[in-house]
Structure 1
Amino acid sequence: MLKQKIKVVISDLDGTLLNSDHSISDYTKSVFQELHHQKYLIIVATGRHHIDAMSIVENLGFPIYLVTSNGARIHSPKKELLYSFNIKSEAIKSVLSLDIDPEITTVLFKEEVWQTSKINKKINSFQKDLKYPPVVVDFNDLEDFSAIKLFFTHDNHEKLVELKNKILEDHSEEFSHAFSLPICLEFMDKSVDKSVAIAKILEIEGYSFQETVFFGDGFNDERMLDAAGIGLIMGNAPENLKCKLPHLNIISTNNEDGVAKYLSRKLELTSKV
């Protein structure tokens, strides 16, 4: 039975734990509070920056482990920084020297702010409270390019695919990449991945991947979906992610409280619909 097997519950945020309004529903909150009460280890693993993500997970009402920027930061339930890794300045500078289409929004995620080539209302809408503010910069004027994550967004997915291929021609040894959404292309240091960060937490807490259930909807979740004891793909995930992982089950969408309903049913929680 799943109830005996699973000790660790891990979830992505956008498109997974969050609905399309970028918030956690009251029902999902009640299910996760019951999980906490029953002593499950709970981890949120997201591509978001830690300042942004912390303000969201605080709404759960209890402390959790938080993996952010696709694994470049780990914070403990006490909000202590346990792990930190930045992309080197020279590596990013080399990428930004390429001929990047000016229609594409370029972003450097720094520790306190995110530096962007222009204001992008669609990306800003992901933050209900701008606790992690954007600053428009001319990247030609920067001296320090070091960042947690390098990020590009455009409504045309194919434009981002072309940019990804151009960057990886000469930088495949330095960067890992992921499409967290079809319109969002992210580059991290090669050593960074959600699954690597979660392995560090499991070691601290004395659990194995076989004792985990993981929920995700993006290509930045792919390795963790495969590594988990049970990996579950959201119904709203891109079809090509579902096709790439045909051995995994697909659950209801984020707008249908897919994560919470699955956990409530399979772990026999009292918070049921």
Structure 2
Amino acid sequence: MPVLFVSDLDGTLLQEDHSLAAETIAAIRNLHDAGRTFAIATGRHHTDVADLAKKIDRPIGMISCNGGMAIAPNGDIIASAYIPDSITQDLVHHPMPEGVFLNMYTDYNWYATETNPKLEAYSEKAGFKCELVTPQFIQDKRAVKFFLWGDRNGLLALQAELKTKYKGQLDCLFSLPHCLELMPKGISKATAVDALCKHLNLTATHVMAFGDGENDIEMLQYAAHPKVMLNAAESVKAAVPHAEIIGHAHQLGVANYLSTAILANLDQAS
């Protein structure tokens, strides 16, 4: 039976309106109360999801920025990684295709060099606010990650360009069809889950992971018990063919699985 349960957020744990359902909160609490550990693994900044974590009202692990930072259930930062300064200085001045917007996460801030109504609407709803700045302002900041979002065709062209330009230095992958994530090479949710396992004296054999996006693939491949959402991208299902496909994210897929396949068995065992 797994000991550590790790879940992506958007497209996996959260509902269509990006909320945490009462059934999901109850399942996570019951899992913790049964002696297991739960962790969130997200491309979002840890500040952005702090309110979600508070609703769970149990100590949980937090993997943010696609593995750029790992936080133990007790709140200690146990791993962090940054994009090389020279690449940051180049990226913030790189011309973006029309309809593509550059965003940067540091340890505590979210910066953008250009705004648009969708970005403003998201920032308004989030507890984590975006700051509109000049490239010169952020060129010397330490970036945990960049994310570029907007026009899909523009992002695909940019992905191909950046993969070639920063080969061996950056990983460029999609977390959503309209969101391209730029991470230090080799840093992923999997590396952060591994750091969390080491902190908890566990191994990959103890891990069950839930995901739906391309930025979840390494984590799903790392975990001995991978679970892929019904709504996952086909590329994810193909990359982890041995994973069990469970319910749809927006129909309480993770909560239902935890309740019927995990918690019910724990109750029987006790």
Give your verdict on TM over 0.5: yes
Counterpart of 2:70 in structure 1 is 74
1:251 lines up with 2:270 in the alignment? no
Deviations 1:81-101 (A, max 9, x none): 222222122112223443321
* Alignment pair present for 1:17 and 2:13: yes
Matched, 1:50 2:57: no
Distance 1:177 1:208 in 2: 27
Alpha-carbon offset, residue 121 of structure 1: 4.1
Distance 1:237 1:127, change over 3 A: farther
State percent identity of aligned pairs.
Answer: 27
Q: Aligned runs of 1:38-187 on 2, under 5 Å?
A: 38-123=34-119, 129-140=125-136, 142-154=138-150, 156-187=151-182
> 3-state SS of the aligned residue for 1:180?
strand
2-side partners of 1:160 and 1:6: how far apart? 37
Match of 2:223 in 1: 228
Equivalent residue, structure 2, for 1:209? 204
Q: Do the aligned partners of 1:180 and 1:186 also contact (CA within 8 Å) in 2?
A: yes
Measured against aligned partners, the alpha-carbon deviations of 1:100-131 in whole angstroms (never above 9, x if no partner) come to 21421111112332111223443455567533
Letter in 2 for 1:166: E
Q: Aligned with 1:172: secondary structure?
A: coil
CA RMSD of aligned residues (A): 2.2
Q: Report if aligned partners of 1:7, 1:212 keep a CA contact under 8 Å in 2.
A: yes
Deviation at 1:67, TM superposition (A): 0.8
Change (3 A) 1:121 1:18: farther
Separation in structure 1 between the aligned mates of residue 138 and residue 108 of structure 2, nearest angstrom: 16
In the other structure, the counterpart of 2:235 is: 240
Query: 2:192: which partner in 1?
Result: 197
Mapped contact 2:123–2:129 kept (Cα < 8 A): no
Q: 1:40 to 1:126 in 2, by over 3 A?
A: farther
Deviation at 1:243, TM superposition (A): 3.0
CA deviation after TM superposition for structure 1 residue 253, in Å: 1.1
The answer to whether the 8 Å contact 2:30/2:263 transfers is: no
Q: Which amino acid aligns with 1:212?
A: V
Contact 1:16 1:217 in 2 (8 A): yes
**TM-score relative to the length of structure 2:** 0.91
**Alignment size in residue pairs:** 267
Cα separation, partners in 2 of 1:248 and 1:122, compared to 1, 3 Å: farther
1:38-97 deviation digits (Å, cap 9, x = unpaired) = 011111111110111222111111111111101111112232222222212211222344
Measured at CA, do residues 120 and 18 of structure 1 come closer, stay the same or move farther in structure 2, by a change above 3 Å? farther
SS at match of 2:126: coil
Letter in 2 for 1:183: H
After TM superposition, the structure 1 stretch with the greater mean CA deviation from structure 2, 49-58 or 239-248, is: 239-248
Using a 3 Å threshold, how does the CA distance of structure 1 residues 252 and 123 change in structure 2: closer, same or farther? farther
